[in-house]
Every structure is written in C-alpha cells, then in structure tokens.
Amino acid sequence: MQPSKPSLRTIAIFGLLVVGVVGSFAFHAAVTDMDVTYTATAVQPGEEPSRVAFASGQIVDLDERLEDKSASIRQPVEHAAANGSFAGTVPPELHITLDDLETRYVVYEGAYYRWNLTVSDETTFVSIEMAQVTATTVLDSVATAYDAAPPKAKSAIQSGSVTDWNVERGIYRQGQTYYAVAPRSETAIAGKIISGFLGYALTPVGRGYVAVALGLLAYRYRNPLTDRPLTVQRSLSVAAMAVPVAFIGTLVFESGSWSRFVTGPMSALVVASGVVAGVLVHQRRWLALLGFTGFVAALVVGASVLALGVIGGLLGGLAVFVGLLTGVIPLGYGIAFGAHRSRKTNGDA
C-alpha cells in the first residue's frame, strides 16, 4: 500500500511549528551578534575635532547638529561665537535643537568653544555663552590617562581596534598622543539595539506559534481519520498551552530576571489567543470576539502590573500590542481549522 501524502493542513501546521521554533530563539540570535567594532584614532590638538566630539561625551559637534539649518536659524549661534554671547528669542526650530544641549564644550565651524546655555521652558528665549578655547585645553580637560583607561579601551589603543559590545568610548592620552576611541559606525550600534529589541519581542511570539502548532497537531493525530474542527473550547486549550511552553522555554534557555518569567508567557498567550479569535470570527460571534480580546488584554496587563508594578503595565501594554499584530497568523489558523473539511481522505492525516 502506497503511503498517503500529508495534507495541506498538516503541512501548514508543521510550517507554523518550524517558524515558531526559529522565532523562539530570535533573542539568542540577536544577542550573539551584538558586538560592535570600536576604533582608536590618534589625534593631535586641532585635528579631526568632529572625531574627537564623536568619541567624547563632554563635547558636542554643533556643526553636525546645525548642518541642515538655514542661515537665519543659525544666526544666534553665529552671533554668540563671534561676540561671546547671545541672549534673546530664537526660532522655534533652533530652540528645539538646543533644548537638550548640556555639555562643557562644542565644536563649531571647526573650532572648540566653552559652552554655557540657558533655555526657557515657557518661551523660545535662550542665553548662549561661547568662549573659544584651544584644542589642547579641551583635550587635556576631557582626556583620561592611558593607565586609568578600561581594559577594552586599552586593547583598542594597542591594536587599533577592538570588537565588543561594551567598550567605553572617550578620549585617552598615552604619552603625548591622544586617542579617540569610538564605534566605527554609530549606525551599527543603533542596528544592534534594534535587532536586540526585535529579538526580545519576537521570542515569545515564536513560542506562541509553537504552542498553537503543538495544540493543532494533538487534535489532528488523536484521531486522524475524523474531521474534528476547532471549537471555542478546543481553541482555548490550544491557546493555554502558550503559558507552559513559554515558561519552559524561559527556564531552559534563558537566565534572565524574574520579569522574563512573567512577560514571556503573557506575551506568548496573547499571540496564541489569536487561534481563539479565529474560531470566533469563523462563527461570526463578534461580541464574543470583542469581549475575549478585552479579557486577554486586561489579564496580561493586570498580571504584569501585579508582578512587576508600573513597569509591568508598560511591558504588558507592549505585549498586547505586539501580540495583536503577530496573532494574525494564529487567527488565520483558527478560521481555517474552525471549519469542517468538505472531503475526508486518508491523506488528511
């Protein structure tokens, strides 16, 4: 007897399982690729002020901040640079640009200035004081001696670069040479942070998919020759599997804070609840769908607040938002598996 081929439904379940397993390790994949290349560039006083500002947290590159601003918007800063100070009302765009500019020094038109700023919170009035200083004065003020530098910064200076996640950027002095230690690309850091956040958010999503796939497989293989469409009760059982699946995944593969044992299962539950929503959509029970969605959202946010306090409310809200978006896929499975098949064959196993 020739073995029967798996049905499209069975293939779809295993496809969801594979996607879920891959997604379950999204955070681990992101974390293993978080390293960034930091370079140590030798700079002499007066050279590469923009690179010095990029490396130091005590210097702001004002040229970069104002590069896309018109001459009229830049005029108050130009006045302060030329005359030592400016006090008056400025264009709102410049007020916004300067509002958070708390720094000791700035680089403006390639020169270093000692910077002092007072900004009104209620109006666009600002008071700017700019006193030009020598590059040597600035470098001596912000530089850290090589002997006091962190080990990773020393490694970057010795070899020219180092690849790691946590390297302390800054200006370091070895003998008569200054080194600007900074990421090779600021964009690289932003990309790593975004990928880490996405990995953190998608891990419980993957585990929610795994729970739905395992639940659907259990119902299909309990009696593969009989059409057993999903009911609301059965879909609730499928969705509930997300909690133990996510909890076990957190326990076995992650060694994080207690919060992960709350946010992970709760996020996975929202995702897996899409299968229940799909059954309700198939049955056209719109009020029940609205009530169930509200109940799950309240349950997740409430549990997060009880376990983690105010921050739990924010994490719970994020879990609901991400879960509703990614729960569209389980919703589709709920609609499809909530319907009777028009024909049953041995191949439907």
**348 part of a folded domain:** no
pLDDT at 347: 39
200 in the same domain as 137: no
pLDDT at residue number 342: 44
Please report whether residue 319 resides in a domain: yes
Nearest Cα residue to 110 out of 22, 48, 180, 42: 48
Same domain, 199 and 264: yes
Supply the Cα-derived Rg of the chain in whole angstroms: 29
For 8-29, the pLDDT digits (tens) are 888 888 999 999 998 888 777 6
Within a domain: 265: yes
pLDDT tens, residue by residue, 219-259:
777 655 555 678 899 999 999 999 999 988 888 887 666 77
Residues 173 and 128 grouped into a single domain = yes
Residue 349, domain member (yes or no): no
Of the ranges 33-37, 146-150, 280-284, which one carries the lowest mean pLDDT score?
Answer: 33-37
156 in Cβ contact with 167 (< 8 Å)? yes
Using alpha carbons, select from 192, 181, 199 the residue that is nearest to residue 24: 199
Query: Where does the pLDDT of residue 59 fall: very low under 50, low under 70, confident under 90, or very high at 90 and above?
Result: very high
Q: Determine the angle formed by the axes of helices 232-240 and 186-222, rounding to 10 degrees.
A: 130
Q: Are the CB atoms for 143 and 176 separated by under 8 Å? A: no
**pLDDT tens digits for range 125-150:** 999 999 999 999 999 999 999 999 99
Q: Is residue 347 part of a domain?
A: no
Helix-then-strand count for the chain, H and E: 16, 10
Domain around 309:
8-32+189-338
- 218 with 282, same domain? yes
CA pair distance 240, 121, nearest whole angstrom: 50
Distance CA 345, CA 172 (A): 74
Q: Number of folded domains in the chain?
A: 2
pLDDT of residue 262: 84
Say what percent of the chain tops pLDDT 70.
89
pLDDT tops 90 at residue 3: no
